Amino acid sequence: MRCTMTIRAVVASLTMLLLAGCASNVVTDYDSAAVFGNYSSWAFPERGGDSASFESLDDSRIRAAVERELNRKGLDKAGADVADLLVTWQIVEEERLERSGLGFGLGIGRGNFGWGLSTAPPIREVQEGKLVVELVDAQSERVVWRAASRRYLNEDQSPEYRRELIDEVVADMFTEYPPGLK
């Protein structure tokens, strides 16, 4: 009987892991009136000339990943003045509370009665960034497709891990482009 309960627990755990693995890491939205078959070229918008327009390390990683994925989709890179789509992105900063460590507790009791005290685990504030990519119709200047990651970039990640994460997230995003082809 104990073996049957163990097998059931293992099967239930594996099922939960499988279902969690099937959850999408991106959320997409699109303009249902847009005719995505009409888009054949894309570009990054022109940058301004001030110091705020310098390209960050993550910007270059995102640009490379987006370019690779759009090339896989058969879209041609063009100048911003002639492209059908303009590609924009941003890293939206969010704060999250995270429990770190363990709480402490003790109790005494006898039979069906007892007393206990415990402390909550320490909580710390974590800054994270969520990647959002948008495709803008160059003629109408309206966003026609948007993807947001459910996976986050944070300060503690190594440069290699950040590059791998950005590559994975952008690839996941563009599995949903063009919409309606699944």
Query: Per-residue pLDDT tens for 127-170?
Result: 778 999 999 999 999 999 999 998 888 878 899 999 999 999 99
Please indicate, yes or no, if residue 78 is contained in any of the structural domains. Answer: yes
Please indicate, yes or no, if residue 168 is contained in any of the structural domains. Answer: yes
Mean pLDDT score across all residues of the chain: 82
Please indicate, yes or no, if residue 19 is contained in any of the structural domains. Answer: no
Better pLDDT: 156 or 53 = 156
Q: Domain of 127: which CATH number?
A: 3.30.160.670
In this structure, which amino acid lies at residue 58?
D
Q: Which domain holds residue 80?
A: 25-100+120-174
pLDDT for 10 beyond 90: no
Please indicate, yes or no, if residue 63 is contained in any of the structural domains. Answer: yes
Pairing label, strands 41-43, 76-77? parallel
Please indicate, yes or no, if residue 91 is contained in any of the structural domains. Answer: yes
Global pTM reads 0.71
For residue 34, what pLDDT is reported?
Answer: 94
In Å, how far are 7, 110, 181 from 63, measured between CA atoms?
47, 64, 24
Please indicate, yes or no, if residue 132 is contained in any of the structural domains. Answer: yes
Please indicate, yes or no, if residue 17 is contained in any of the structural domains. Answer: no
Count of domains in the chain? Answer: 1
Alpha helical stretches, state H, the chain: 2-22, 57-72, 159-174
For residue 109, what pLDDT is reported?
Answer: 78
